[in-house]
Amino acid sequence: MALQVWKCESIDEATGQVISVVDLTRVTQLDKAMLSVPPMTLEYGLYRFTISVSLGVMHLFDVEQSTYVRVTQSAIIARIAANGMSEITRGANTLITLSPETYSVDPDVDSTAPQVTLPTSIALCSANVQF
């Protein structure tokens, strides 16, 4: 029987030293070959993920393998209108309200939390213009 266990450590990028061991209790299957970490579980930074595999009750074969993962900030998804439209056509003398503060999304923030704060713009079309 094979025993597989995952471990995650936060690493200091300047020194390469372990800062802390990360609690992976939110990850439901730490004893599988594949590990899935839910979004927004880890802070920005460098992490070392290690899987340890032991074969047999008497540890006939033990192996440990590590890989490094850097968690970085995502770019804001900018949207100026509902549904992320890429083109809006309006006739002359019509108003277009561009609302990036309403429709833009920060993927690093919980979807139920307030999102990015951006200004609202109102444009009066003086000709047939496409945005």
Terminal Cα distance for the chain, rounded: 62
Radius of gyration of the chain (CA): 24
Tens digit of pLDDT for each residue in 27-70? 766 667 788 888 888 899 999 999 888 887 776 788 899 999 99
Tens digit of pLDDT for each residue in 88-122? 777 777 777 777 777 778 888 777 776 666 555 55
Are residues 68 and 46 in contact, defined by beta-carbon separation less than 8 angstroms? yes
Q: Give which of 59, 38, 69, 49 is closest to 6, Cα–Cα.
A: 49
Q: Can you give the pTM of this predicted structure? A: 0.66
